[in-house]
A and B are shown apart, each in its own frame.
Chain A
C-alpha cells in the first residue's frame, strides 16, 4: 500500500518535472483522440442525415404491404386498410404520420412522347406528414390539394422528357387492379425537384381517390407508409404492427429493408472509417511509445540510482506505467472535450455541399448537408481504446527501465 502510494506520488511529480516532454505526449493523445472522435462523429451524422433524407423524401420509416408486394412490385399485391390499426397508429406518439398509397407502373404520354412512370396515389394531406416531396415543388406549380381529382405532380426530369409543363394535360395508360386497361387524362398541377434522380425521372403523384377510381382499386391500397418521430423507434413500432396483423398475409418492413442499398453503402463507408480509425489509433500509440521511450532514455541515470538504493524492478515498472496513465488520462480528457467541441460546432454548422449537388446526384447521393454527431458511444470507445493503447505501449519502455544494470546506468549521463 505504502509502495503504491510512493509510486503514484513519484509518477505525478515526474509527469510535471519535464513539462515540454509531457505536453508533447499530451498533444499526441489530445489531437489523435479528438480527430478520431470528430471523424466518427462526421460518419455518424452523415449517415443519419442520409437515412433521414431517404426516409423523409418518400420511403418512410416503415411500410406495410400485402405479403409479396415488395418482391414483386405489381399492382396485384394490395391490402384492404385496417381502420382499427390506422386509428391506433394515429394515436401513437411515436408515429409522426401515416399515409395510404396506391402504386402502379404506367405510361405517360404528352404530344408524341411517351415515358414510363411510377404512379403513386396519395392523400395530399396525410402525405405531408410522411414525405417532404410537397416542399420540393418548383415555383410556378403547386402540390396536390385535398379537392384535386385529375391533377398530378411529377418529377422534373420526367416533365422535361415529356416536354410537359405546369398546366399540360397528359394521358396515362396502365393496367387496373382487375386487369382492365386503366386510362386517364390528367393535368400537371406542379413539378417537383427532389434531388433523387429516380423520383425526378419517374415519380408521379396523383390524388388517392382518383387513383382508386382509375386503377379500379375498390378501396385496396398497396402500402401504408409511416414516418416516425425518431428512427430509433422503428423496431418497436414494427413489432407492434406485426403483432396486430396476420404475418401470413401482411409484410411489415423497416427502412433498412426498404432501402438495402443505402444500408450497404453505410456499411461500406463504416469499414473505410474503421480503417482510418485504426491508422489514427496506431499513430497515437506509436507517439506514446516514442515519448515514453525517450523519457526513459533521458532518465537512465535516475533509474540507475533508484535501482541501486533498493527500488525493486516492479516498482520502477509501476511508476513508469502510472506516469503514462496520468498523461493518457489527461490527454484523453482534453481530447474528448476538443473532439466533442469540434463535433458540436459542425453539428450546429453542418458542412454544406449544395454547390456540388449535381455532381453528387450522379453517384446517387442526394444528401448535401453533413452534420457531425458525437455520440456517447463514440466518446467512450475512443477514450477506452486510447487508454488501453497508451498503457500497452508503455509496457516496453517501463520494462526496459526496470531491467537496467544499476552500476552501468549510474555512469550514463
Chain B
C-alpha cells in the first residue's frame, strides 16, 4: 500500500525537538532529525505526484495522525475520479473506503508491502521509518555537502536481531538544524536501491521542515514519486471521531 504509506511518511515527518548545537552522537543526530519533521499529532495537506512510464498523476490528500496512538486517517480530494477514497490505519490494520463501491475493504499489513498506487514508496518505508532509531546501529561518518547543504553523514546498519529489509541506510542531516536532506537505501549486497531526497525547506506549522520529498528507485530513473506538503499543523488536538469507521464510511 503506497498511498497511505506515503501519507504516513509525511505524517511522521513533522514536529521536532529544537535543535541542539553541541557535539552530538550519530544516534542523537538521527533522533533529532526524525523528531524535527514529526509531531505527536499532525494534520497536513499533501500533493503526491507519481511519474510512471506512461503517465504522471497528481493526487491531493489530507491526513490526520496521532503518532502516540498509531492512528492515521487520510482522504483523497483530487483528482475527481479518486476523490472520496479514504484510508484509516490503526496500528497496522488498514481499511480503505471506496466511494464507488460504497464499501470499505480491510487490508492486512502483509498486503501493504506491494506497490499500490504505482508510487515508489512502500508501506515498509513508512512503518520501518519509525524504527530507524531502534532497529539500526548508527555511525557518524564525517560530513559533506549534499544538494548545497552541509550535512552529517550517518551510516545505519541493521542490528542482528532486527527484522528490516535494508542492508544499509545512509542518512544525511543538515549540520545547522539536523533536518534530513537525503536517505539512501541499500540492499544486503550493498547496492543502492532507493533514494529519498528532501527539499524546499520552509517554515510551516510553526517550524522549518522540508516540504518536498522525492523517492527515486534506482534503475528506473524515468519513474519517481514526489510528495509535497502544502500545509501542516503540528501538535494540535485531533478529535477521536476522525479515526472511526463512521468517519471512514460517511457518505
A-side residues, CB < 8 A to B, are: 74, 76-77, 105, 107, 109, 112-114, 116, 171, 173, 175, 177-181, 183-185
Contact = CB atoms under 8 A, between A and B. Distances in A.
Nearest to A179: B57
A107 B55 CA distance: 22
Nearest to A110: B105
17 contacts: A107-B107, A112-B106, A114-B107, A114-B111, A116-B111, A116-B114, A171-B98, A171-B101, A171-B105, A173-B98, A175-B116, A178-B55, A181-B81, A181-B85, A183-B98, A184-B101, A185-B101
A404 B88 CA distance: 98
B54 interface: yes
Contacts of A74: 115, 118
A76 B54 contact: yes
A215 B108 CA distance: 23
A376 B79 CA distance: 65
Given A183-B100, A185-B101, A175 B118 contact: yes
B121 to A, nearest CB: 14
Given A76-B54, A116-B114, 20 more contacts: A74-B115, A76-B52, A76-B53, A76-B118, A105-B114, A109-B105, A113-B106, A171-B98, A171-B105, A173-B105, A175-B118, A179-B50, A179-B52, A179-B118, A181-B82, A181-B98, A181-B100, A181-B117, A183-B100, A185-B101
B174 interface: no
A173 B96 contact: yes
B103 interface: yes
A107 B115 CA distance: 12
A179 B85 CA distance: 14
Contact of B117 (A105, A113, A179): A179
Size category, B interface: 20 to 34
A175 B117 contact: yes
Nearest to A174: B116
Nearest to B110: A116
Contacts of A116: 111, 114
Contacts of A109: 103, 105-106
Given A171-B105, A173-B96, A178 B111 contact: no
A180 B103 contact: no
Interface centre among A109, A114, A181 (most CB of B within 10 A): A181
Interface of A is mostly: strand
Nearest to B119: A179
A173 B50 CA distance: 19
Contacts of A179: 50, 52, 55, 57, 117-118
A114 B85 contact: no
A114 B109 CA distance: 11
A77 B108 CA distance: 27
B85 to A, nearest CB: 6
Contact of A107 (B54, B103, B111, B118): B111
Contacts of A181: 81-82, 85, 98, 100, 117
B107 to A, nearest CB: 6
Contacts of B52: 76, 179
A171 B55 CA distance: 26
Contact of B101 (A112, A113, A177, A183): A183
Contacts of B105: 107, 109, 114, 171, 173
Contacts of A77: 53
Contacts of B114: 105, 116
A343 B233 CA distance: 79
Contact of B103 (A105, A113, A171, A178): A171
A180 B79 contact: yes
B115 to A, nearest CB: 8
A111 B108 CA distance: 14
B98 A180 contact: no
Interface string B117-142: 11000000000000000000000000
Contacts of B103: 109, 171, 185
A181 B86 CA distance: 12
Contacts of B54: 76, 177
Interface in B188-232: none
Nearest to A108: B105
A55 B85 CA distance: 40
Given A76-B52, A114-B105, A171-B105, A178 B57 contact: yes
A255 to B, nearest CB: 27
State the 10 A-B residue pairs at the shortest beta-carbon distance, nearest first. Answer: A179-B57, A109-B105, A183-B98, A183-B100, A76-B53, A180-B81, A181-B82, A183-B101, A114-B106, A171-B101
A76 to B, nearest CB: 5
Nearest to B59: A179
Nearest to B85: A181
Contacts of B82: 180-181
B227 to A, nearest CB: 15
Contacts of B107: 107, 114
Interface centre among B55, B100, B105, B117 (most CB of A within 10 A): B105
Contacts of A178: 55, 57
B248 to A, nearest CB: 14
Interface in B49-106: 50, 52-55, 57, 79, 81-82, 85, 96, 98, 100-101, 103, 105-106
Contacts of A113: 106
Contacts of A105: 114
Nearest to B51: A179
A77 B55 CA distance: 12
A116 B105 CA distance: 12
